[in-house]
Amino acid sequence: MEYLNYINGEWVKSVSGETFESKNPANERVIGKFQKSNEEDVKVAINAAENAYENWSEMPAAKRGEILFRAADLLMKNKQKLGKLVATEMGKVLSESLGDVQEAIDVTYYMAAEGRRLFGHTTTSELRDKFCMTIRVPIGIVGCITPWNFPTAIPSWKIMPALICGNTIIFKPSSDTPLCAVEFVKILVKAGVPKGVLNLVTGPGGTVGKEIVKNKKIRGISFTGHRNTGKWILQNAGIKRIGLELGSKNGIIIMDDANLEIALDGVIWGAFGTTGQRCTAASRVIVHKKVKKKFENMLVNRVKKLKLGSGLNPGVDVGPLINKAALEKVTSYVEIGKREGAKLLIGGKPVKVKGKGYFFTPSIFTNCNIDMNICQDEIFGPVVAIIEAKNFDDAIKKINSVDYGLSSAIYTENIRYAFKAMKKIEAGLTYINSSTIGSEIHLPFGGVKQSGNAREGGIHGIDEFSEIKTIYFDYSGRLQKAQIDTS
Ligand code: NAD
């Protein structure tokens, strides 16, 4: 079946008439054909977003919120269907796929209610008979560019706050999960988002994405994806609001006093959940030398029991990688790890399930040195590097010895280590006695260093999609001068 772009309230073909395919990564079957749009389609969408802007931005935010409440109800009603679609198109196991949709539901209710808040603040003036406050105004037309690994949740983190703040939107989803995007937009249309307010343009990053980034009429970009794409956006967008949520190389520290059973659950979940394809995935385990051998044995024994297969099948723990290129990348990193002298304890092979799919066996390297490429680069697959730490300070030094800083975790029963780690680890998120993954939507989410510059979630999502405007209201009836020395 062929799916269309959604521009100016209508489902339309791309200007070129060209299409591309999306495939189920578990069995390589084609799911549908989608519009291979180009710069011209983006320009048409921008025109629609420009025309819709005045009416939408002037609509009382609480009324926009009513539309979002309806969207949240519809997402809830369609949760099973959308969850199955995520499992089919993106590949993760059904419980995680339903979690992806639940996150979108939670964000949508949260942002709908924000329509009755959107707080600014008031403060005192240094002069008499003068009132000072801040208000929130929309940014304008914003571009939301998203990856494939959370095909419902990540668009909702961007689109819901953008809508409630009164922006109009050009949405470009990943070409690996366009059907999830089409179904998501259909829900918002059904909920009553007016024509031109939300425009879906599918197609390559090099044409559609590039035009969104470069076009001067777009005032803000919210991007989630690879660090190199983020860098390119920063260098090419010109002066715009730019929010970047990028990759990482997240670590878990396991101290010698840790409860190893709980740590084991955390490593398995953080490293192999979503087949290691989360920006917050745990790809480095920094373990105290006293418990390293024991923990390695526990880990290998557990990994042996993990079952690979289609995310739709009950009992499956690890789904496929997203596509052939991802499979090749992960395979090549295992070869790099071996060449660098790391010891492969288990896994390391691409495999087929029922003769198909982009599966890779969950893999553990040990005796890793922090400078190795497998300890520095985001592999984005089920590959973990174990690094030995001499003591707490050594563990902190090693967890921080990467360019990235999105998520992190420490397992310890020692309260002093826990509190020190909260401050010393260079990351946007630190979990104590819990894995690196599993954010809650009302708390800020985002990284430091090369993991990005944005904070999504909760009130921070509102900050990303609104301008803070300062108002000085002078009711003295004369000219009063602030910041003038009259002493
Ligand atoms: P990607 O950067 O390849 O693609 C992301 C999106 O950007 C896609 O829609 C793509 O088409 C588009 N794009 C590509 N080139 C572009 C260009 N020149 N201009 C504009 N848009 C362009 O990333 P991906 O492979 O889809 O996603 C995986 C990456 O995303 C990983 O690095 C992962 O860590 C990261 N990620 C980060 C977060 C976070 O919140 N920090 C969350 C999920 C994923």
> Got the DSSP string for 357-417?
EEEE--EEEES--TTSHHHHS---SSEEEEEEESSHHHHHHHHT-SSEES-EEEE-S-HHH
Over 80: is that where the pLDDT of 485 sits?
no
Residue 187 lies in a domain: yes
Per-residue pLDDT tens for 143-182? 999 999 999 999 999 999 999 999 999 999 999 999 999 9
CB contact set of 225 (below 8 Å; sequence gap of 6+) = 145, 146, 147, 174, 245, 246
Indicate the top mutation candidate among 41, 174, 377 to test ligand 1's pocket, ranked by most ligand atoms within 8 A of CB. 174
Average model confidence (pLDDT) for the chain? 97
Over 90: is that where the pLDDT of 484 sits?
no
Q: Does 326 contact ligand 1 (Cβ within 6 A)?
A: no
Closest CA to 166 of 133, 135, 200, 136: 136
What number is the average pLDDT over the span 40-48?
A: 98
Over 80: is that where the pLDDT of 487 sits?
no
Residue 440 lies in a domain: no
Per-residue pLDDT tens for 439-468? 999 999 999 999 999 999 989 999 999 999
Choose between 119 and 483: higher pLDDT.
119
Tokens describing residue 406: 């999105």
What is the pTM for the complete model shown?
0.98
Q: Does 147 contact ligand 1 (Cβ within 6 A)?
A: yes
Residue 441 lies in a domain: no
Residue 484 lies in a domain: no
Q: What is the pLDDT of residue 486?
A: 74
Q: What is the pLDDT of residue 220?
A: 98
Q: Provide the pLDDT confidence category of residue 409 given band limits of 50, 70 and 90.
A: very high
Do 237 and 358 lie in one domain? The reply is no
Do 123 and 135 lie in one domain? The reply is yes
What number is the average pLDDT over the span 303-326?
A: 97
Closest CA to 464 of 243, 244, 246, 247: 243
Residue 307 lies in a domain: yes
What is the rounded distance in angstroms from the CA atom of residue 192 to the CA atom of residue 397? 52
Assess contact for 373 and 333: CB atoms under 8 A: yes
Domain span including residue 283? 250-432
Q: Does 174 contact ligand 1 (Cβ within 6 A)?
A: yes
Atom of ligand 1 nearest to the CA of 451: 41
Residue 478 lies in a domain: no
What number is the average pLDDT over the span 120-134?
A: 97
Q: Does 225 contact ligand 1 (Cβ within 6 A)?
A: yes
Per-residue pLDDT tens for 171-197? 999 999 999 999 999 999 999 999 999
**d(CA 174, ligand 1 centre) in Å:** 8
Q: What is the pLDDT of residue 167?
A: 99
**d(CA 469, ligand 1 centre) in Å:** 31
**d(CA 224, ligand 1 centre) in Å:** 5
Q: Which CATH number belongs to the domain containing residue 200 in this structure?
A: 3.40.605.10
Q: Does 167 contact ligand 1 (Cβ within 6 A)?
A: no
Residue 476 lies in a domain: no
What number is the average pLDDT over the span 15-35?
A: 98
Q: Provide the pLDDT confidence category of residue 423 given band limits of 50, 70 and 90.
A: very high
Handedness of CA 81, 87, 93, 98 (dihedral sign): negative
Residue nearest to atom 8 of ligand 1 (CA): 174
Catalytic site positions: 245, 279
Do 240 and 308 lie in one domain? The reply is no
